Chains A and B, each alone.
Chain A
Amino acid sequence: MNDDELFRALADGNRRQLLDRLHARNGQTLGELCRGLKMTRQAVAKHLAILHKANLLSWKRDGREKLHFINPVPLNEIAERWIRKFEQRRLSALSALKKHFEGDGR
């Protein structure tokens, strides 16, 4: 749960893609998360474990299913570390402008 672990977990396109998918729809099972991906189920499970260890992901049992949830709390902490309160509004305006012209590029 240290910063290095957090940034290492984020330094992988596949793991960011999994977070994107959970951001779009929270509370998915492993099977749902694997759908349409080129990775094997084992690879996805391994990436999810790394994200969980970095506290970017939480999971919950629901009957027989294990549901995965994105946990943005550590991301908020690193953002708050370098973004001042008064900068937030201007930065969101800038990022909305960028999205407008470039699409939701990643």
Chain B
Amino acid sequence: MTQKPASQFVYVTYIRTTPQQLWSALTSAEFIHQYWFGCNVESEWRVGASWKLCFADGRPADAGEIVELEPEKKLVIRWRNEWKAEFKEEGWSLCTMELEPVDTAVKLTVTHSMERDNSKFIEAVSGGWPRILSNLKTLLETGVTLMPVK
């Protein structure tokens, strides 16, 4: 039996779009800027490439690398917090995004985990993800976001 990660959450949203469009929303800097609270992402989007997320004012938020990438299906990022010492010292987390077409929508499952009990970082991101995912859903389905870029 595998050892289960000690801190994790699994979020699911159904978005009326195509896997192709959702994939481009997850891997394009312009798109991400619109639904991720104005953050800017930098990555070459290939396995082994670095991945970096910065706040709108340029301060680094999170960093890591692409571990797995299967276009329109799966993206796995090795992810560490960069802006708060308390989170950063918890070390690496793993974020998996999976896309699966369901009828006229795409099911997006986001799993974020860390092999550590009661991770404060996982607790913190678990509060941010629902808003990001709602924003992403609204953006893809209507072309605008509910929570405007700060």
Contact = CB atoms under 8 A, between A and B. Distances in A.
Interface core residue of B109, B111, B130 (most chain A CB under 10 Å): B130
Contacts of B137: 77
Given A72-B130, A76-B134, A85-B147, A63 B2 contact: yes
Interface stretch (B8-16, B62-70, B77-85): B8-16
Contacts of A1: 14
A62 B6 CA distance: 12
User: What DSSP secondary structure best describes chain A's contact surface?
Assistant: mixed
A69 B9 contact: yes
Contacts, number: 57
A73 B130 contact: yes
A26 B12 contact: no
B134 A77 contact: yes
Contacts of B2: 62-63
Nearest to A1: B14
User: What DSSP secondary structure best describes chain B's contact surface?
Assistant: mixed
B12 A67 contact: no
B33 interface: no
A80 B8 CA distance: 24
Contact of B12 (A62, A64, A73, A85): A73
Contact of B11 (A59, A64, A67, A72): A72
A27 B8 contact: yes
Contact of A67 (B1, B4, B146, B147): B4
A55 to B, nearest CB: 6
Contacts of B109: 58
A60 interface: yes
A40 to B, nearest CB: 26
Contacts of B147: 80, 85
A71 B14 contact: no
B46 interface: no
